[in-house]
């Protein structure tokens, strides 16, 4: 939600889960350059610094260029992905505390302490996604700093 907005709006958001480089190609910055190019695939035209001439021609992949946000899940930490620049020097993905909740459930929890709980399989968990998304849409206007952009990635999106 943009600052001051009272209703959420749905926008295109992309997620990148992993980037892998085969061992024989490591040390040549290929993944970093790939992710720098990805900014220019996902973002609307004109929303980024000019495409660097030394990178060659800008990527042209139909069906994209509409991202309002992108989320990158990192296994190597935030420093690496900030170096996947937009243009020659603007930081790429930056670390933002997502304000998430994590519920740690130990596999060896005694059955007596799980009374009232129901373990879900994947199908049952997926069946809950529409209701969770509905609640997020309902609750987002009332949470967070209303002077800043607030974002939620919906589980059924």
Residue 50: the pLDDT is 95
Long-range CB contacts (within 8 A, 24+) of 2-10: 2/149, 3/146, 3/147, 3/148, 3/149, 4/146, 4/147, 5/141, 6/141, 7/141, 8/137, 8/140, 8/141, 8/152, 10/157
Residue 153: the pLDDT is 86
Q: pTM of the predicted model, to two decimals?
A: 0.75
Q: What is the mean pLDDT of each run of 10 residues along the chain (157 residues)?
A: 90 88 93 94 94 94 93 79 91 78 64 72 93 92 90 85
Burial of 35 (0-12, 13-18, 19+ CB in 10 A): buried
């Amino acid at each position: 939600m943009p600052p001051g907005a009272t209703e959420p709006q749905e926008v295109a958001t992309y997620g990148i889960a992993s980037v892998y480089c085969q061992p024989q190609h490591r040390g040549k910055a290929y993944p970093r350059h790939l992710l720098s190019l990805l900014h220019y695939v996902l973002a609307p035209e004109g929303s980024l610094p000019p495409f660097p001439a030394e990178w060659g021609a800008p990527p042209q992949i139909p069906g994209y260029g509409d991202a309002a946000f992108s989320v990158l899940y990192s296994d190597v930490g935030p420093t690496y992905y900030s170096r996947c620049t937009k243009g020659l020097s603007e930081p790429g993905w930056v670390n933002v505390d997502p304000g998430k909740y994590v519920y740690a459930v130990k596999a060896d929890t005694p059955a007596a302490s799980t009374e009232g709980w129901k373990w879900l399989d994947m199908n049952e968990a997926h069946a809950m996604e529409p209701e969770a998304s509905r609640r997020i849409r309902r609750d987002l206007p009332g949470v967070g700093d209303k002077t800043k952009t607030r974002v939620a990635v919906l589980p059924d999106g």
